[in-house]
Structure 1
Amino acid sequence: MTKIADTSGQDVVREAPRRSYWKLIVSASVLVVLIAVTLPIVNRWAKAEVSVPQDRLRIATVVQGDLVRDLSIQGRVIAAISPTLYSPAEGTVTYHVDAGDEVTLGQLLVSIDSPELQSRLEQEQASLDSAAVALERQHIQTRKAKLETQRDIDMAKVTYVAAEREKRRADDAWAAQAVSQIDYEKAQDDLETARLIYDHAVADAELEADTQVFELQTRELEVNRQQALVADLQRQVDALNILSPVNGLVGNRELDQKNQVARNQAVLSVVDLSAFEVEIAIPETYADDLAIGMAAEINYSGQTYAAQLISISPEIRDNQVVGNVRFTDGMPPALRQNQRLTTRVILDQKNNVLSVNRGQFLESGGGRIAYVVRDGIATRTTIETGVTSLSSVEILSGLTAGDQIIVSNIEPFGNAETVRITN
């Protein structure tokens, strides 16, 4: 009987492997550590009230350093010196320059033909000539009156001397009993009469001299008054030729050539190219923070120029305050009036303070709420903010350097204490 072969001959007896208990211990330890690490995170995630995708958030880091509070505004270049010239009298205007022409100081720009003013000048000049002639006549009259009074004094003195001589003769005759008493007394009367006439002649001469001095002063005052009137009219006539007050460019011509112009009507403007300023319109909210003398920076063609705030309007228009900024270390070349330039006004600077990038969380949280991000969870935190700049906000309390917070809008979080950030 034939035996059927089987596979027993191929079987191999092997020993059962021994268990590696140390590997089990290591695996168990790792598992415990992972559970200990992840359990708090899982708990926080489980307790999170709101879940927000990370790509919808903007997160910034709190840093410690210098904070510059500034204000960036688009300004308009204006001429610091841009006088408008006016007609001094009514007449016909004649322009000697066109708009845009370069002019120099003292150059003739406009002539005003005013026949009325020219006629007044000629009339007053004639009156001045007449007053001058009257003054010269008064000088002659004064000298003549002086001669006449001197003549009267001399004649009275001669009469007085003759009366004295007759009196001495009468005294001698009276002593010799050679003259009657009546003749002697008559000689005395004649002497007294001559003395009185002489004294009155001297007094009249002094009074006449005072009168002539007064008359002469009156004529001189009349001439001086007329000279002042003529000088003023001459000034007005000279002002009919309007000269350039600065070196620069001719602005707008307000009238057409040979048009009639009224008194004090604008005829021309001139722009001084050597002095430009930047006019800025500042939002009303910054009005209380502005002060004359604040430092500023003006950006032109990629370069920054130092400047200074020199004036602030006392009134608010259209929720804006107008100010002027002047270059302090030289102006950039090729500036043009009404050109737009970016101006940065430095309102305040604080050193070594906590700050974070500015964002919508300021408005939505009222500057008192921030969400601090740690391990994918944003926790609601009460903060206190200080001054703000265009890009940063000062943190007074509630945060420390290195904290990361959500700076985007936090209104979607409502009053949630924790927010889970997902990928």
Structure 2
Amino acid sequence: MAIVDQASVKPVKSKKQKSQGRIALIVLAVLVVAIGIAYQTLLSGDGGYVLSDYDTAFVTQQDLVLTEQASGTVQLPNQIIVTSPDDAYSGALYVTLGDTVSKGQLLAEIDVDDLEEDIEDYEAELIVAQVDREQVILEYENSLEDSAFEIKTIKRDIADLEEDEATYIKLVQINNARESELEDIQDELETKREELETAERELKQNKAMYVINLKEAEALINQKQLSLTRARNELEDTRIKSPMDGDILEISDEMSVSGSTLDSGDELFTIADPTSALFDLSISEEYADDIALGDSVSVTVGSLKVIGTITSIGRVAETSDDGLGATVSVDVTPNEYNSSLLLGSTAIGVFTLGVKENALTLPRGSYLTTGAQKYVYVIEGNRAVKTTVTFGEIEGNTVQVLTGLKAGDKIITSGYQNFISYDEIKLSGE
């Protein structure tokens, strides 16, 4: 059996009692509204609107700096893409993404088929070509000695025959020798002279052939040396080195997996100089004529604020991202290097377009929208008068007033939604 605490038991209400309770609540709410209306009427006396809680501000005269925002990204224009020098296979990788590297630093090694064997072949062929050249020189020197000896011998024979000829001429003249003997000597002398001419001609030809053969031998050596040098350079090129100081922005998937196939020209690494960072911003085309090279620009990247200088203004307008207008590309270079600027980060730049001197201004507030941006309530004593105004530029929290107000006017800056239909309202707080 359950024990019931009678003190905690609430009496059950009938449907009629519940209905009567709801009616009582409705009546109470109506009475509250009626009392509020009566109170408002009592305060206004003539049925006008009375405002007790509101914000105010004075119209001031000051120089208004006009600015325009433009969005974009951080770019690193000084980039180099390192490519594969040949068809190869990926090998050892010595860096990781984001590493800072210096010019000439070894990044990776790749393997090229038969390259080392080719180098050995070229080295052997070069040795053979060098030996052939030495042989050409040696053969020429030997032939030169032989020719010199032959010519010397012939010249000696000619000298002897010339002496004999002179002797026999005298002997024939005194009839101590026959004419035929003299003729034999002269015939032999003529033969020797012909032999000398032939030997000298052959020597000249041998010298000419030696020059040709030597050039051919040296050309072959140069060819083999060039092939060897190229092969060695190709082998050195398989040691992939950084062409600049910078950061590793990209590493190809193939380089990350040893043994992957690489084609000549495949991109292996992207390296960028972080000190070349700039902001690539897109400003509305209508403001392009209001900025100039050398202008200072305040740029925000996340929580970082950077001051930069305009270094380039595009000459071609492009359709904006939303497709509703056109923009011009503007490059802004930071005045100081900042390592926190990362490629692709969103950047917001604030451009100074000009200054409106002695402009009438008000602080920005909800009165702008609730007043349809053409009405304000000017406070005059304990009342506020609805006044037609013309607004100009809006810069941050400052609004330019073109017409309808003067410096020193005090206006209501809180929302007008409850009394915008009134030309004049009363102020209970004044």
Indicate yes or no: 2:338 matched with 1:337.
no
TM-score, structure 2 normalization: 0.61
Q: 2:85 aligns with which of 80, 84, 88?
A: 88
Q: Aligned equivalents of 2:194 and 2:234: distance in 1?
A: 60
* Partner of residue 29, structure 1: none
Which one of the candidate residues 77, 94, 115 is aligned to 2:74? Answer: 77
1:209 aligns to what?
Answer: 207
Classify 1:165/1:61 alpha carbon distance in 2 versus 1 (closer, same or farther; 3 Å): farther
1:236-385 alignment runs, 5 A limit:
236-255=234-253, 256-258=256-258, 259-284=260-285, 296-299=297-300, 303-310=305-312, 312=314, 316=318, 319-328=326-335, 330-345=336-351
Supply the distance in 1 between the matched residues of 2:74 and 2:389 (Cα, whole angstroms). Answer: 49
Q: Which residue identity is paired with 1:274? A: T
Matched, 1:97 2:103: no
| 1:243-269 superposed Cα distances (whole Å, 9 cap, x missing partner) | 123334333321232122222111222
Q: 1:111: how far off?
A: 0.7
Q: 1 CA distance for matches of 2:338 and 2:287? A: 28
- One-letter amino acid of the counterpart of residue 187, structure 1: I
Between Structure 1 and Structure 2, how many residues are aligned? Answer: 329
C-alpha distance in structure 2 between counterparts of 1:208 and 1:60, whole Å: 110
Does residue 212 of structure 2 align to residue 221 of structure 1?
no
Equivalent pair of 1:146/1:205 in contact (CA under 8 Å): yes
- Contact preservation (8 Å) 1:138, 1:216: yes
1:349–1:106 distance in 2 versus 1, CA, 3 Å: same
3-state secondary structure, aligned to 2:79 = coil
Counterparts of 1:302 and 1:98 in 2: how far apart (Å)? 27
Comparing 89-98 with 316-325, greater Cα deviation is found at 316-325
Superposition TM-score, scaled by structure 1 size: 0.62
The one-letter code of the counterpart of 1:87 is: S
State the 1:321 CA deviation.
4.5
Instruction: Within 5 Å, give how 1:2-151 maps onto structure 2.
Output: 71-94=68-91, 95-151=93-149
Amino acid at match of 1:257: V
Report the counterpart of residue 18 of structure 2 in structure 1.
Answer: none
Instruction: Assess, with a 3 A threshold, how the Cα gap between structure 1 residues 207 and 180 changes in structure 2: closer, same or farther.
Output: same
8 A Cα contact 1:296 1:309, kept in partner:
no
**Structure 1 match to 2:37:** none
2:39 corresponds in structure 1 to none
1:247 and 1:272 in contact (8 A); partners too: yes
Q: Is the 8 A contact 1:247 1:273 kept in 2?
A: no
Query: Structure 2 CA distance, aligned partners of 1:123 and 1:152?
Result: 43
Following superposition, the deviation at residue 77 of structure 1 comes to 1.7
For 2:101 and 2:275, the matched residues in 1 are separated by 13
Contact 2:74-2:343 at 8 Å conserved across structures: yes
Deviation of 1:274 after TM superposition, in Å, equals 3.3
Give the whole-Å Cα distance in 2 for the aligned partners of 1:354 and 1:111.
Answer: 68
Deviation at 1:287, TM superposition (A): 6.2
Q: CA deviation at 1:110?
A: 1.1
Equivalent residues of 1:78, 1:276 under 8 A apart: yes
Contact 2:296 2:307 in 1 (8 A): no
In structure 1, the gaps of 5 or more residues are 1-54, 358-369, 393-397, 405-419
Following superposition, the deviation at residue 75 of structure 1 comes to: 2.9
When residues 163 and 81 of structure 1 are mapped into structure 2, their CA distance, relative to the original with a 3 A threshold, is same
Q: Is the 8 A contact 1:295 1:309 kept in 2?
A: no
- Partners of 1:356 and 1:135 in 2: how far apart? 96
Q: Secondary structure at the match of 1:115?
A: coil
Deviation at 1:184, TM superposition (A): 1.6
Amino acid at match of 2:310: Q
Query: CA shift at 1:213, angstroms?
Result: 0.8
- Cα displacement string for residues 303-350 of structure 1 (whole angstroms, at most 9, x for unaligned residues): 54232324748684665454433234x22343323223333456x768
- Contact 1:101/1:250, CA 8 A, preserved across alignment: yes
- Aligned-partner Cα distance in 1 for 2:394–2:163: 116
* Residue 412 (structure 2) aligns with: none
Letter in 2 for 1:173: L
Counterpart residue type for residue 345 of structure 2: Q
Q: Which residue of 2 aligns with 1:16?
A: none
Following TM superposition, by how much is the alpha carbon of 1:212 offset from its aligned partner in structure 2, in angstroms?
Answer: 0.3
Q: Give 1:355 shift.
A: 7.5
Deviations 1:127-147 (A, max 9, x none): 323222222222222222322
Question: Unaligned stretches of 5+ in structure 2?
Answer: 1-53, 362-373, 379-384, 409-421, 426-430
Q: Hey, what's the Cα distance between the residues in 1 that align with 2:394 and 2:137?
A: 83
The alignment partner of 1:305 has SS state of strand
What does residue 187 of structure 2 align with?
189
The amino acid that maps onto 1:224 is N
